[in-house]
Copies of this chain bind each other. A is one copy, B any other.
Amino acid sequence: MAALVRGEAADEAKGQGITGVDGKHMQIGEVAARTELSLRTIRHYEETGLVTPSARSQGGFRLYTETDVARLMVIRRMKPLGFTLDQMRDLLDATDRLDADAALGAEEREALLERVRTYQREAAAQVEKLRVQLSRAEDFEGTLRAHLEQDAQAAGG
């Protein structure tokens, strides 16, 4: 099991001031606090089929498990890679099915793997882009600071 998304750590939750409706499920607000994602974002992820809450309350409140939260965390890590939500859904689907392991035709299995490999390559490429962006940003920030210092000189001298 090398699941991208792992859950079932509900035990740990109890001890932490977590209001857990029934100790196993939590409402969207708590999930938002823990993932640092907005309510709107989390709902949006559901709208686009990225993360569906494991349950709903009688009154219709979304109820999430630790697994759901873990999945959201994965998505949060993916975000900087610039994937669209659709791509993320696609990738998570693939890894989910690979992890379900069980009985997959060798052919289907290979197809899934190839899909994941493609994303991995794209991810690597994006990491490179991020590096470039970071250095450009640093560069700019430096220029800006230099500009200020130099300008302060102009004023003082």
A interface residues with partner B (beta carbon < 8 Å): 2, 4, 74, 76-81, 95, 98, 101, 109, 113, 116-117, 119-120, 123-124, 126-127, 130-131, 133-134, 136-141, 143-148, 150-152, 154-155
Contacts and interface: CB of A to CB of B under 8 A. Distances in A.
A111 B79 CA distance: 37
21 contacts: A2-B146, A2-B150, A4-B143, A76-B136, A77-B140, A77-B143, A80-B133, A80-B137, A81-B140, A95-B147, A98-B151, A109-B155, A113-B152, A117-B148, A119-B144, A120-B144, A123-B141, A126-B137, A127-B134, A127-B137, A127-B141
Contacts of A148: 113, 116-117, 120
Contacts of A133: 79-80, 130
Q: How many copies of this kind of chain does the complex include?
A: 2
B147 A116 contact: yes
Select the residue from A79, A147, A150 with max chain B CB neighbours within 10 A: A147
A145 B145 CA distance: 39
A156 B58 CA distance: 47
Nearest to A132: B80
A73 to B, nearest CB: 10
